[in-house]
Structure 1
Amino acid sequence: MTTTPPPPGPLLSAAELNVTFPGRRGAPPARAVDGVDLDIGAGEIVALVGESGCGKTTLARSLLGLVPPTAGRITFAGEGLAYGSRALKAYRKRVQLVLQDPSGSLNPRHTVYDAVAEGLRIHGYPGDEREAVTEALSRAGLRPPERFFLRYPHELSGGQRQRVVIAGALVLQPELIVADEPVASLDASVRGEILALLLSLRDELGLSALVVTHDLGLAWNIADRVAVMYLGRIVETGPVEQVLTNPQHPYTQALLSVLPESDGEPVVLTGEPPDPSRIPGGCRFHARCQILASGEAARAGVDERCRTAALPVLTGGDTAQVACHWAAARAGAGVGN
């Protein structure tokens, strides 16, 4: 399996990306993705983290070309993403999707061989199909690959099914995969194996990945950078070690506090994320913010700003950034840096 030289700059880049869905029965439009800048470098794994309903899956689907953005721009290898059928077909050969539930991704009537070969047939692969399927299954850790050719999904374990899905992505020799909760449906004993596989693919093939997850613990184990998303926006981003060992945004702090290895008391966020058709003014997290509720924001002199002053969209790139009035006030005072 060959790899192409990495392009200058980010491999995949989103700039000022918006995805808005029409409101139902006269309701305002829902801003599922609301001004997002995000870069993924060649050979880099980026974790996109947030609660259910925060917009991360919609963002991922937009980056895949499955949901056209309402505004903004997506570039891949320095070229803008085009939405004609031929252009999208070529793009999806280079950017592949790995879904959460392997059982739902695999046709129960197809053998493993046919499941992996499907992409080759769609794209009119001119080479040796059997050789390509064999190599992809081997890369995905199903060895000897010939032993799996005639098996059906129901004859495999959950981990083996996920490896078949990954092989189906790898067979087209993509440069980037988008993995949406890739281990959420697997037993704990198998999760580590799949994460180790994704890391080995990065190291051996230079494969880039966007891993969509609600689990910051997973991000810690696999990602080079992390982007924390809340209500359609990236609220904190940076190198994974920096963000997860010294989180600046109260939302990131709350997500980390519920991990088993966390030292402090868990932060229980009140209520659900607001409706994306009714995004509040000021900081969009302020209605659930533990820092505002505790009076810490008032002591920092930013409580009114939290409720009324909008925050800028975080730019792309690999530096640590946070969109939070309280974190900015602390940084100005030399606290927590």
Structure 2
Amino acid sequence: MSTPLLQARDLHVEFSSRGRRARAVDGVNLAVGEGEIVALVGESGCGKTTLARTLLGLERPTSGTVLYGGQPLTYTSKALKAYRREAQLVLQDPTGSLNPRHTVYEAVAEGPRIHGMANEEQVVAEALSRAGLRPPERFFLRYPHELSGGQRQRVVIAGALALNPRMLVADEPVASLDASVRGEILALLLKLREELGLSALVVTHDLGLAWNIADRVAVMYLGRIVESGPVEEVLKEPKHPYTQALLSVLPESPERVVLSGEPPDPTRIPGGCRFHARCQVLASGAAALAGVDSRCRSELLEVLPAVPEAQAACYYADTMAADEAVVR
């Protein structure tokens, strides 16, 4: 991969929680290339949204670096304002994202006004048109309650497009929409990538969505990426037991994997593999047969690098891969 457009390098984000330090993001390397769509997937509470907010400069990392265009992010007001014109956030709840007292025109014009852009009406009209609201003038004076859920999400996307960004960070962009509308919004994001060369980081718990829209996928668990790679490789042949469990809920999955318990408290991340307490491979005895069960419980895994190839942070997967290589 050439110099990524957006990159996290050994990123850590911690918060105080009941006198303890919660490691919301606990060593993440992630890269999004020019014109690339990367899906960041995982259960609720795994750190996806915190990572996305940190990549946008809305949270400051405890340690590590966010790079944009190869340059470290600078946290002055002026630098962040310029950066946020380049990298825009699209939230999952369009109803909550839009002020009910503002018309569609005012909602989309807010960003261009903050950044002092000229030809405001033309900018708003072009953004609405690109977002699929045509003719745009028909929507100028409408209020959010007069729109469908899909139209409201298009207005939110238009508000981001009005600033001519190079990067979108979409946090569960279709989670609140009806199934019939989700495909339209996903098709819109793909169309924007094709027409404008936009890059996107799509945060989701839905691996089916990742399959339909992403070039690469990164699977996150308890503050760390545990598997990543090209979407077809990861989702067709997942190596990490956590990814396998997430995929098992899809309708076409031959076998359902039910994980025990909830993700551990991020103030008390377990030793060894952070997934071992819920791991179906360890519980079944397969890890013991492979001779890695003690490592799973006690030895810390290395943080995955930001590389385009498929990779997984799992002792059992490493052993299986080594055995396959010997057979070949």
Same fold per superposition (TM over 0.5): yes
The one-letter code matched in structure 1 to 2:4 is P
Selected match of 2:240 from 232, 235, 249: 249
How high is the TM-score relative to the length of structure 1?
A: 0.96
Given that 2:108 and 2:158 are in contact with CA atoms closer than 8 Å, whether structure 1 keeps it comes out as yes
Selected match of 1:102 from 94, 99, 105: 94
Selected match of 1:150 from 134, 141, 148: 141
The one-letter code matched in structure 1 to 2:50 is T
Tell me how far apart the structure 1 counterparts of residues 188 and 25 of structure 2 sit (CA, whole Å). 30
Tell me how far apart the structure 1 counterparts of residues 170 and 266 of structure 2 sit (CA, whole Å). 24
Secondary structure of the corresponding residue to residue 168 of structure 1 = helix
Tell me how far apart the structure 1 counterparts of residues 5 and 307 of structure 2 sit (CA, whole Å). 12
Tell me how far apart the structure 2 counterparts of residues 221 and 261 of structure 1 sit (CA, whole Å). 15
Deviation at 1:23, TM superposition (A): 2.8
Alignment pair present for 1:261 and 2:255? no
Selected match of 1:123 from 90, 112, 115: 115
Deviation at 1:278, TM superposition (A): 0.1
Given that 2:2 and 2:33 are in contact with CA atoms closer than 8 Å, whether structure 1 keeps it comes out as no
Question: Aligned Cα RMSD in Å?
Answer: 1.2
Match in the other structure for 2:42: 50
The one-letter code matched in structure 2 to 1:114 is E
User: Equivalent residues in 2 for 1:64-83 (5 A)?
Assistant: 64-83=56-75
Match in the other structure for 1:15: 9
Tell me how far apart the structure 2 counterparts of residues 16 and 289 of structure 1 sit (CA, whole Å). 25
User: Equivalent residues in 2 for 1:27-46 (5 A)?
Assistant: 28-46=20-38
Tell me how far apart the structure 1 counterparts of residues 302 and 69 of structure 2 sit (CA, whole Å). 27
Match in the other structure for 1:84: 76
The one-letter code matched in structure 1 to 2:59 is V
Tell me how far apart the structure 2 counterparts of residues 329 and 221 of structure 1 sit (CA, whole Å). 31
Q: Residues 303-322 of structure 1, C-alpha deviation per residue, up to 9 Å, x if partnerless?
A: 00000011000001211111
Tell me how far apart the structure 1 counterparts of residues 120 and 202 of structure 2 sit (CA, whole Å). 29
Unaligned runs of 5+ in 2: none
Q: Residues 66-96 of structure 1, C-alpha deviation per residue, up to 9 Å, x if partnerless?
A: 0100000011011110001111011000000
The one-letter code matched in structure 1 to 2:259 is L
Identity of aligned residues (%): 74
Match in the other structure for 2:229: 238
Given that 2:211 and 2:235 are in contact with CA atoms closer than 8 Å, whether structure 1 keeps it comes out as yes
Given that 2:67 and 2:73 are in contact with CA atoms closer than 8 Å, whether structure 1 keeps it comes out as yes
Alignment pair present for 1:321 and 2:321? no
Alignment pair present for 1:196 and 2:190? no
Tell me how far apart the structure 1 counterparts of residues 284 and 131 of structure 2 sit (CA, whole Å). 48
Q: Residues 154-199 of structure 1, C-alpha deviation per residue, up to 9 Å, x if partnerless?
A: 0000000000000000000000000000000000000000000000
User: Equivalent residues in 2 for 1:167-246 (5 A)?
Assistant: 167-246=158-237
Given that 2:227 and 2:312 are in contact with CA atoms closer than 8 Å, whether structure 1 keeps it comes out as yes
Secondary structure of the corresponding residue to residue 184 of structure 1 = coil
Tell me how far apart the structure 2 counterparts of residues 311 and 212 of structure 1 sit (CA, whole Å). 24
The one-letter code matched in structure 2 to 1:140 is A
Deviation at 1:8, TM superposition (A): 5.0
Tell me how far apart the structure 2 counterparts of residues 93 and 29 of structure 1 sit (CA, whole Å). 32
Deviation at 1:124, TM superposition (A): 1.0
Match in the other structure for 2:274: 284
Tell me how far apart the structure 1 counterparts of residues 116 and 2 of structure 2 sit (CA, whole Å). 29
Match in the other structure for 2:301: 311
The one-letter code matched in structure 2 to 1:233 is R
Tell me how far apart the structure 2 counterparts of residues 8 and 249 of structure 1 sit (CA, whole Å). 27
- Aligned length, in residue pairs: 327
Deviation at 1:265, TM superposition (A): 1.7
Match in the other structure for 1:4: none
